[in-house]
Structure 1
Amino acid sequence: MNCMKLTLLVSGLLLGALPLAAQQAPALSLTCPAPNASTALQKLACEIRDLTMPAPTAGATLTVDARANGGITVRGWSGSTVKVRALVTARAATLADARALVAAVKVSTQNNLLRAGRANESLDGWAVDYEVLVPATTNLDLKATNGSITIENVAGTLRLATTNGSLALRSVNGDVRGQTTNGSLALQLTGESWVGSGLDVSTVNGSIDWQLPSVYAATILARTTHGKISAELNTKRKSVLPHNLAATLGKGGAQLKANTVHGSITVKQPADAPVAVPVSGE
């Protein structure tokens, strides 16, 4: 399925299925570190920058590039624009030098690309973390190296990649692919079923915690090489082995995969609520 067809599918099916949190504008919460984050050898300077970008057109992708130092949090909301809070930090021997380094960092929002850099291309001593609000149906390409990635209440073609950081996915749908090398995976799905072509996420050195609603329809596949799998699922159609899990939830559906090499996997659904039985009158 190409990006245009996927976008139309998600737009038609998902807006009503997304939780209420996606229908309201979440508050931007990134703040500067406490003053005591400075040390005797290194002083810390910080600056908050609030920016606005046009939302990508249908079929286009918003790229957030936080390499080499910085994390990314993206949340869906009901607005038609992209709101960005960039937290720029820098460390240097003196506070004046740290402030000068912060001032030299430029954050660009051109051509559906959010990224930062210095005029001399140096990566030393500074970092930018991003908190981004996007329309609830948006294609995303999120990149980090030394930072974590969190995404919630968004549907579309989603690509996430970091090296030293965790991945957290909450209330997402669409065609979702993500990977990290040194970090955990936290998956929290909502709704009654997956909407879109599927999920495929992996880590090398990290555990996986996967939470699903008590009633859900999908095909679940999980694998670990040097860890164990624990599964509490509301289905009899499952195969749970020490290193592999395969399960059909509800009527089945999209294939959802999660893999790790050095880590354990926990997959859990809350127990089904008991069905109330009417009591006949005498």
Structure 2
Amino acid sequence: MAGIGAWLGGGSVPVRAAPSVVADARPVLPDAPALAAWVEQQIQALGPAPWWLLGEQHDADAHQTLQVAVVRVLAGQGALAAVVLEMAERGRDSGSLRPDAPEEAVRQALAWHDAGWPWARYGPVVMAAVRAGVPVVGANLPRAQHHAVMADADWDTLLPADGLHALERLIDTAHCGVLPAAQLRPMARIQIARDDSMAATLLAQHTPGRTVLLITGAQHARRPYGVPLHLARRAGPAAPAPRVVELVASDDAPAALVPTAAADALWLTPAVPPVDHCAGLRARR
């Protein structure tokens, strides 16, 4: 396995083992030039890495705004090798398209599913990459593989027991506590396989001296059970750790957020009005 210097194309990279730092993007979000300068500062502070992971809250508009800024800053530095997306299936990419390709051609190349991932929300970050000549690469587990994955207990072995149980608890909560207990493990296998698919895609896109950016949900980006765990297994012990940034929608003061070893940084954005996604289910029970 190549050493750290070889992974980055020469030189060394700091290894980040400390808990995350908290940075507040809220004051600069309305101002595009100020946001670009803020993002550039944060990228410099975290340092170079072959992979950057941005974990978002899917319904937080400010998170997609930040993603566009990150793409433009990295692309402007000539440092962006590819943008990898949870929002498109593995095997789909924009690599054959010119930078001036129309949006519809990009959507077709990625087999975009607007019902699950509204183009109005994610189109700007996709097109920012395409216009910069940076390939956009799908990384999610193809839906055609879901049934086989759910029945395959080998996926259970890719997480430590505590990580597997934590994932099952998250799935139970996300489904409002109404899933039968027997369905939690198969659903966890889907999540594990999705994270592994994203990790495999990140590794496949690795380009010495440049950065591959993953845009995904916050839970997928967390170190204890998400993409970083699978990336470390696939890349081997000599590979440097990815930079993990969790985007946090909150009205809290930065000092109120508790740093976590699950990410290198927490970037604060304005809070999103809470939505009770379980209300309809409770009403029908």
> TM-score w.r.t. structure 2 length?
0.25
RCO higher in structure (CA 8 A, sep ≥6): 2
Q: Flag the structure with larger Rg.
A: 1
Which one has a larger percent strand, Structure 1 or Structure 2? 1
> TM-score w.r.t. structure 1 length?
0.25
Which one has a larger percent helix, Structure 1 or Structure 2? 2
